[in-house]
């Protein structure tokens, strides 16, 4: 009898060990594949595991020159932002799909799942945001992922743009002469042209649904928020620029985005950026 019990235990132990070995091997393979994918994304400049928050606005100096200003609010690891594995996987999937399409920078937030993600985005944005502006304005919240070729770093971003500034991005002619502080900000000008177009489409969808008496639930992929954000701008002085301690505002480096402009059907601006060493006299306005 004891021999028969021992044989059963022995056989079950072997089966358990084989099953555990396969499970451990599968876990190791999955972990290896995940790490390999993450390293590949890092080498490509894709930081999909981090969520950034920023806001952008257009302002003018005393001479009337328009400046395009982008300010970072903060960032969160995606695991902190989304506790639910299903939602995190959904957002990662959306980010990776968007990364494969260079000309599609706005991350789609369609349906019930998209509305859930937008609500989560809004909650974390409110946690990070400090409202220190002098007046309340409407700001459009849009999740984006800029993947234009010249960019060396790509991360999903919750971008706020002042609604009153959106008409500036209705066409390339009306926004291509905005001066930027960082060359990569030129990508956000192109992104905001897409945001403007898709927000107009959203407004039309909402208007049709209300006119037909249908529910507008889950139709919004971008949210309008009532916020009081600081839009003050401190411009570098001639002395700071000459000393090399601060960079000047300058013409966007559209030559870097020549292939992108061509694919978008946009013509290269006549005024092409010069090297910074040569452009200081032309691009630096008198200090504020």
Tell whether 197 is covered by a domain.
yes
Tokens of 83: 């506790």
**Highest averaged pLDDT of the listed ranges 45-54, 249-258, 277-286:** 249-258
> Rounded to an integer, what distance in angstroms lies between the CA atom of residue 24 and that of residue 28?
6
Structural domains in the chain (count): 1
Residue 14 lies in a domain: no
**What is the band of 143 on the pLDDT scale with cuts at 50, 70, 90?**
very high
Dist CA 182 CA 248 (whole Å): 9
- Which has more pLDDT, 27 or 196? 196
- Please spell the DSSP secondary structure of 117-180, one letter per residue: HHHHHHHHHHHH-----SS-EEEEEEEE----TT-S-B--EEEEEEGGGGGGGGSHHHHTT-EE
**Per the domain annotation, does 32 fall within a domain?**
no
In a domain, 281, yes or no: no
In a domain, 13, yes or no: no
d(CA 251, CA 234): 18
Range of the domain at 105: 44-230
**Residue 37 and residue 34: Cα distance in Å, rounded?**
5
Q: Considering the chain, what is the average pLDDT of its residues?
A: 80
DSSP H helix total and E strand total for the chain:
9, 6
For residues 224 and 138, the answer to whether their CB atoms sit within 8 Å is yes
- Angle among Cα 268, 193, 111 to the nearest 5 degrees reads 145
Q: Which of 42-56, 110-124, 195-209 has the highest mean pLDDT?
A: 195-209
Residue 286 lies in a domain: no
In a domain, 96, yes or no: yes
Q: Which residues contact 164 (CB under 8 A, 6 or more apart)?
A: 137, 138
Cα–Cα distance measured from residue 187 to residue 196, given in angstroms and rounded to the nearest whole number: 14
Q: Residue 166, Cβ neighbours under 10 Å: how many?
A: 18
Is 186 part of a structural domain of the chain? yes
Residue 233 pLDDT > 60: yes
pTM across the whole model: 0.76
Q: CA of 230: how far to CAs of 71, 167, 178, 247, in Å?
A: 10, 20, 19, 21
d(CA 276, CA 251) in angstroms, rounded, equals 10
Looking at residue 123, its pLDDT comes to: 87
pLDDT in the model for residue 288: 33
Asked if residue 279 lies in contact with residue 251, where contact means CB atoms within 8 angstroms, the answer is yes
C-alpha to C-alpha distance for 58 and 192, rounded to whole angstroms: 12
109 phi and psi angles, rounded to 5 deg: -125, 65
């Amino acid at each position: 009898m004891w021999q028969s019990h021992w044989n059963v235990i022995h056989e079950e132990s072997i089966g358990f060990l084989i099953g555990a070995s396969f499970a451990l091997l599968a876990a190791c393979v999955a972990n290896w594949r995940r790490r390999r994918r993450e390293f590949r994304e890092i080498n490509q400049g894709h930081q999909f595991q981090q969520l950034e928050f920023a806001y952008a606005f257009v302002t003018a100096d005393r001479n009337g020159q328009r400046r395009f200003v982008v300010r970072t609010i903060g960032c969160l690891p995606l695991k902190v932002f989304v506790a639910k594995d299903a939602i995190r996987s959904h957002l990662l999937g959306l980010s990776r799909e968007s990364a494969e399409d260079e000309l599609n920078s706005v991350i789609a937030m369609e349906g019930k799942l998209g509305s859930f993600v937008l609500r989560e985005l809004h909650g974390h944005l409110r946690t990070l945001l400090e409202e220190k502006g002098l007046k309340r304005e409407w700001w459009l919240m849009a999740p984006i992922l800029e993947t234009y070729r010249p960019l060396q770093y790509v991360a999903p971003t919750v971008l706020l743009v002042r609604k009153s500034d959106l008409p500036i991005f209705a066409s390339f002619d009306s926004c291509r002469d905005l001066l930027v502080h960082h060359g990569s900000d030129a990508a956000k000008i192109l992104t905001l042209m897409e945001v403007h177009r898709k927000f107009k489409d959203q407004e039309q969808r909402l208007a049709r649904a209300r006119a037909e008496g249908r529910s507008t639930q889950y139709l919004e992929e971008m949210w309008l928020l009532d916020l009081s954000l600081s839009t003050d701008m401190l411009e570098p002085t001639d002395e700071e620029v000459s000393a090399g301690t601060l960079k000047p505002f300058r013409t966007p480096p559209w030559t870097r985005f020549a292939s992108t402009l061509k694919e978008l059907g946009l013509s290269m601006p006549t005024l092409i950026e010069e090297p910074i060493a040569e452009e200081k006299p032309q691009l630096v306005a008198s200090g504020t």
